[in-house]
Amino acid sequence: MKKITVPLELINLHDDGFHLLVEVVIFNRKFNAVLDTGASKTVLDKTIIESYINAEELLQSEKLSTGLGTSTMESHTVILPSFKIGKLILKHFEAAVLDLSTISTAYETLNLPPVIGVLGGDILYSHNAVINYEKLELKLLPNSL
């Protein structure tokens, strides 16, 4: 099965490491997401998501989320009609939704492009992701696990 190749952008966090950004398409709009192999799930910013959906489409999650440099926080989920990464199209994709304002503020302070959230292990694992840092590419299997 042929892998889908998606370009990545390496951004310098001003002497505090690097992040990989990947372009995703949600609500027929292009956004940047941080490629995060340490994130168990794909997480989207609540403020951005709320500007595209009706309030009742945001579902309260039973789980409390941890990580992202914070203590435990309330989380939500949303079912997206389509979530596109390169030529990979995920229909009816369920993503976690959290307040990611601290990340947005940090990126803004560093004059970095805004991000909608993080592309996490749920997608990376289920599509057998391979990251090539030299070529700045993400390879995904269209129909994997």
Look at residue 145 in the predicted model and tell me its pLDDT: 56
The answer to whether residue 140 scores a pLDDT higher than 70 is: yes
- Residue 56 region by backbone torsions, left for phi larger than 0, else alpha for psi between -120 and 50, else beta: alpha
Highest mean pLDDT among 19-33, 57-71, 97-111: 19-33
- Burial track 29-53 (b if 16+ CB lie within 10 A, e otherwise): eebbbbbbeebebbbbbbebbeeee
Instruction: Return the CATH fold of 4-140.
Output: Cathepsin D, subunit A; domain 1 (2.40.70)
Look at residue 71 in the predicted model and tell me its pLDDT: 53
Look at residue 61 in the predicted model and tell me its pLDDT: 77
Q: Is the pTM of this model over 0.75?
A: yes
Look at residue 113 in the predicted model and tell me its pLDDT: 85
The CA radius of gyration of the chain, in Å to the nearest whole number, is: 15
Task: Print the SS3 string covering 32-94.
Answer: EEEECCCCCCCEEEHHHHHCCCCHHHCEEEEEEEEECCEEEEEEEEEEEEEEEECCEEEEEEE
Pair of tokens at residue 113: 């492009």
- Largest Cα–Cα distance of the chain, in whole Å? 43
Length of the chain: 145
Average pLDDT taken over every residue of the chain: 90
Query: So where are the chain's domains?
Result: 4-140
Interval 63-90: pLDDT, tens: 545 554 555 667 899 999 999 999 999 9
Q: In percent, how much of the chain has pLDDT > 70?
A: 90
The answer to whether residue 93 scores a pLDDT higher than 90 is: yes
Pair of tokens at residue 90: 């995920």
The answer to whether residue 131 scores a pLDDT higher than 70 is: yes
The answer to whether residue 41 scores a pLDDT higher than 90 is: yes
- For residue 3, count CB atoms less than 10 angstroms from its CB and return exposed for 0-12, middle for 13-18, buried for 19 or more: middle
